[in-house]
Structure 1
Amino acid sequence: MEPQSSTTLVLCGKTNEEKELGWCLKTNSTLKLPDSSPVNVILHSEIENGKEEDAFGIDSYLNSLSTNRLGKLLIYSPKLASTHDVVSHNFCELPIGAVCVADVQFKGRGRSKNVWESPKGCLLFSFTIQMEDGRVVPLVQYVVSLAMTEAINDVCLQNGVPSLDVRIKWPNDLYLDGLKVGGILCTSTYRSKKFNITAGIGLNVSNQKPTTCLNSVLRRLGCDSQQLQSEDIVAAFFNKFESYYHIFISQGFQALEKLYYKTWLHSGQRVIVQEKNENMDEVSENVVTILGLTSSGFLLASTEDGQTCELHPDGNSFDFFKGLVRRKLV
C-alpha cells in the first residue's frame, strides 16, 4: 500500500491573537482530517515571500478584511479534499468565524452528498458559525447567499468595473446570465445546547467551464485588464456577512427580506407543483405563483383560486423546482 501524501495547511491570523492561536494549533498538532491522513501544518510567517501563480493571496485577503470577528483566523491549502470537512471536523478546536480556503479541492460537498472536483479558478471556502435558536438555522443559508451577491457588487465597484447581476436561485445556488456560477452548503450539528454550523461556498471566479464565471462575463464587457481576485471577494464577503448576520440575529430575517427578494430570481414566478389525490395513486399537477418565503424558510405561493401554500422539494430531484410539493397553510 502506498503511503498517503500529506495535506498542507497554512495558518495565519489578522491580529496577534489569531496568530498566537495558529501557533498553538500547530504546536499541539490539533488539526486533523476526517480520514486521519497526514497533515503538514505551516505558519504563514514561516513561508518565504512570494506565492505561486493563481494561488490565494493571503496578505491581500487579510489587508482587505475589516471584520470584528469573522474570517480573522485563516486556514489555507493549495489542495485538499474538502474545505467543509476541515472546518466541520475541527469545529470545536477553532474560533467562531474561522475560515478554510483552498485553491483546489477534489472531494467537494454538495446537496444530497454529491461530490465533485473543483479546479483552479474556483473560489472555495468554508467557515464556522454558532447559533442557539434552531428555528432560524435553516435561514442562515439565505443570509450567506445574499452577502455573497452583495460582496461581488462591492468588489466590482472597488475595481471600477460594471456590476455583475449575480442572482439567488432558491434555496442556495448563485446564477449569472442564466447559468449557475456558485452554490452554498450549510450543515449543522447540535452540541451543548448550540448549533455548530459549517457554511461552505463555491464560486466560479476564473474557471469558465462547465458553465460560466465572473471574469469571463467581465471580459465580454471589455474589462480584460480588471479581473476579480478570489481573496478580495472572500474579504468583501466577510465584511458584508458580519453586518447582515448581526441584523439577522438581532432583528430576524424579515429585516433582510426586501434586499433578498431584490436579489433572488423567483418573485412572481409560476411553477408546477405536484399533489397526490386522496385515496388514489394518481398525482395531479397545479400551477402556483411564488410570493416569497415562509417563516420556516420554504417557498410561499398562491394558487389560482387565491389560497396560500408552502412549497417543499419532493427530495427526489437535484433541481429544487422539479417536483415541488404543495402544503396548505392554515
Structure 2
Amino acid sequence: MPQFLLARPDSWYVQRRVVQELLGHLRPESAISHPHLDGDMDNESPHRPEPFVFEDANDMFHFHFPSFPSADEISDLSSHPVLELIPQNSPGSLNDKVKHVLVIRKPLTFQEENMYTPQFSPSAFFRAIDEFRSGTEGTGQGASQDSWRIGDAFMYGEVVSSTQTMFDKNPSFLRALPAPVVSLATIQLAGRGRGGNSWLSPDGCMQLSLKIRVGLKGSSSGKTNWFSLLGISGSYCWVAGTAIRPSNLVFIQYLYALAVVDACHALDPSSQWAHKVRLKWPNDIYGLFPCDKPGSKMEPRKVGGILVNTSFGGGVADVVIGCGLNILNEPPVASLAQLASSGSSASSLSVECAAAAVLVSFERIWNSFLQQEEEGFQPFMDQYLRSWLHSDQLVTLATRTPHKIARIIGITPDYGLLRTVPLSGGEFIDLQPDGNSFDMMKGLISTKKQ
C-alpha cells in the first residue's frame, strides 16, 4: 500500500525540503532551484508538481502529488480508499519493488485520517511530539528551512514490506534522503530483526525506522585503525560541524534502548509499570511479568527489539535505527499494555504516543551524547546498567574452548563490548554485540549462526 510523506503541521516546509533533496539528487542541475516546485506545492496553488520516480537497488519509489476525491468520486468501495490516490495508469500495482509515496499539500484533516489512515492518526502523533517536547530543553536543531527535529519528517504506510529495508537496502535513496526522517507502518510483511531474523508485526505493535546522519571524525593517520576495527573499507574525510569517532557508532543501539526505557517512564507519569521495562544485551527490550512458576515472582518476556544499520560515504554515516515495540498486543504476545494493565496510565497508551515518546527521548539522549562524545558511553553507563537484566549474571561462554563460566560485570565504555570475568580467574573476556547470541534463559553466550 502507498505511504504518505508528511511533516509536523507547524513545520510543513520540511515535506517540501525532502522532495527538493530527492529531486536534486535525480536532477543535479536543479539542486539549487526547482522551478514551479515551491509554488506548486503551496496549498493555494492550482498546479500540481509532476510525479517522479526514484529507482534504486531494491525498490522503485513513485512519488505522486494527489488531490483528495470527494466521497462520491471514489470508484471502488471494496478497496482501501488510499488506493484511489494512486493514478490509474500508474505502473507497479502488482510489482513488490514499486513503492508509492503520496505527497499531499497540507496536513490530513480528521475526516481524511479516518478515511485514509484509519489505523494510525498522524495528528495524534504530532500532538504527542509537541507534548513530550514541551518537557525538554535544549534538544532542538534549529527552526531554519534547512534543519528540523526528529519526528518532523514522517512517512506512514498502513502496510509496507519493511520500514528498515526501504531505507537500508536502497543506498542511493538513503543517501539522497535528508535527515532526520522517520518511517512507520502498522503492518510489515517482511519485518527484520537482528542477524537476519524476522520481526513479526501483530496488531498493536509500534514499528518504525529512523534515519539520522552524523559526520565522522578522523585523520589519515587514524583512519586505518578505526576503520579496520569496525570492518569498514574506503576513504573518508573530516566533516565540519557535529561529528563522532567511528568507534562510537556502536553505542547508538544502547542509546536508543535507553530512549525506549525513558519513553516508558514518560508514558507512565505515575510510575506504576515503567520500572518493569528492562534491557537485554545487546538490543532487546523486555518486561517483567508475573510468573506462575513456584518460587518465581517475575518472568522476563520480550516486548521489543532494536536493529541498527549503517552506511558510510563522504565522511558521514547514514544510520538507520529500526525499532519494534509491542504496545497494545493481546496475549500470548507480551506488551506494554499488559505491563500497565492494572495502572491508571494503561488507557492512555497508544502507538502514536509511544512512537512520539521514543523519538523525543532519543533526540534528547542523542544530542547529549554528541555533546559529550569524547567520553564515549561513560556518561550513560549507570543509567544503562540500572535498566538491564544482567548485573552479576553467571553465563557459560560457548565462544571459548573449553567453555568458560563467567560473570557479567558491564559494558566497556570505549567500544561497547560486553565485559565478563571468568569465575576461575584471569583477564576480562569482552564480547562484541555483533556476531554473538545471548540465550538469557539458558545463561549461554555463543557465536551467532548466520
- TM class, shorter-length: 0.7 to 0.9
CA–CA separation in structure 2 for the residues paired with 1:80 and 1:94 = 18
Q: Which amino acid aligns with 1:61?
A: F
| Counterpart selection for 2:347 from 205, 208, 226 | 226
CA–CA separation in structure 1 for the residues paired with 2:177 and 2:303 = 29
Cα 1:179–1:225, aligned 2, differ >3 Å: closer, same or farther?
closer
Cα 1:60–1:322, aligned 2, differ >3 Å: closer, same or farther?
same
Q: Deviations over 1:64-100 (max 9, x none)?
A: 2236321210000000000112233232232212000
CA–CA separation in structure 1 for the residues paired with 2:163 and 2:389 = 28
CA–CA separation in structure 1 for the residues paired with 2:54 and 2:355 = 22
Q: Which amino acid aligns with 1:95?
A: P
CA–CA separation in structure 2 for the residues paired with 1:29 and 1:210 = 44
Q: Which amino acid aligns with 2:272?
A: P
SS of match in other structure, 1:118: coil
Map of 2:122 onto structure 1: 58
CA–CA separation in structure 2 for the residues paired with 1:313 and 1:307 = 19
CA–CA separation in structure 1 for the residues paired with 2:103 and 2:384 = 38
Contact 1:9 1:75 in 2 (8 A): yes
Cα 1:18–1:134, aligned 2, differ >3 Å: closer, same or farther?
same
Map of 2:257 onto structure 1: 145
CA–CA separation in structure 1 for the residues paired with 2:353 and 2:394 = 37
Cα 1:32–1:145, aligned 2, differ >3 Å: closer, same or farther?
farther
Cα 1:119–1:129, aligned 2, differ >3 Å: closer, same or farther?
same
Moved more, 135-144 or 61-70: 61-70
**1:152-301 map, 5 Å:** 152-157=264-269, 160=270, 162-164=272-274, 165-177=276-288, 178-219=300-341, 221=342, 223=344, 226-251=347-372, 252-274=376-398, 276=400, 283-294=401-412, 295-301=414-420
CA–CA separation in structure 1 for the residues paired with 2:265 and 2:328 = 16
Structure 1 unaligned regions, length at least 5: 1-6, 277-282, 326-330
| Counterpart selection for 1:20 from 16, 19, 25 | 16
CA–CA separation in structure 2 for the residues paired with 1:316 and 1:293 = 15
Q: Deviations over 1:22-65 (max 9, x none)?
A: 56568553556724333332235375533358612211111222
Q: Deviations over 1:220-274 (max 9, x none)?
A: x155961411111111112111111112122132111111111111111111113
Q: Which amino acid aligns with 1:183?
A: G
CA–CA separation in structure 2 for the residues paired with 1:102 and 1:289 = 40
Q: Which amino acid aligns with 2:210?
A: F
Map of 2:294 onto structure 1: none
Q: Which amino acid aligns with 1:56?
A: F
Contact 2:150 2:180 in 1 (8 A): yes
| Counterpart selection for 2:189 from 106, 116, 129 | 106
Map of 1:42 onto structure 2: 102
CA–CA separation in structure 1 for the residues paired with 2:18 and 2:178 = 11
Contact 2:398 2:446 in 1 (8 A): yes
Contact 1:87 1:99 in 2 (8 A): no
Contact 1:174 1:181 in 2 (8 A): yes
Does residue 123 of structure 1 match 2:119?
no
Q: Deviations over 1:137-185 (max 9, x none)?
A: 111100001001110110121xx57232111100000000200000000
Map of 2:158 onto structure 1: 78
| Counterpart selection for 2:428 from 295, 302, 308 | 308
SS of match in other structure, 1:11: strand
Map of 1:328 onto structure 2: none
Structure number with higher strand proportion: 1
Contact 2:154 2:183 in 1 (8 A): yes
CA–CA separation in structure 2 for the residues paired with 1:78 and 1:32 = 22
Does residue 29 of structure 1 match 2:140?
no
Contact 1:215 1:227 in 2 (8 A): no
Contact 2:398 2:444 in 1 (8 A): no
CA–CA separation in structure 2 for the residues paired with 1:232 and 1:140 = 22
Which of structures 1 and 2 has the bigger CA Rg? 2
Query: Normalising by structure 2, what TM-score?
Result: 0.63
SS of match in other structure, 1:135: helix
CA–CA separation in structure 2 for the residues paired with 1:213 and 1:199 = 21
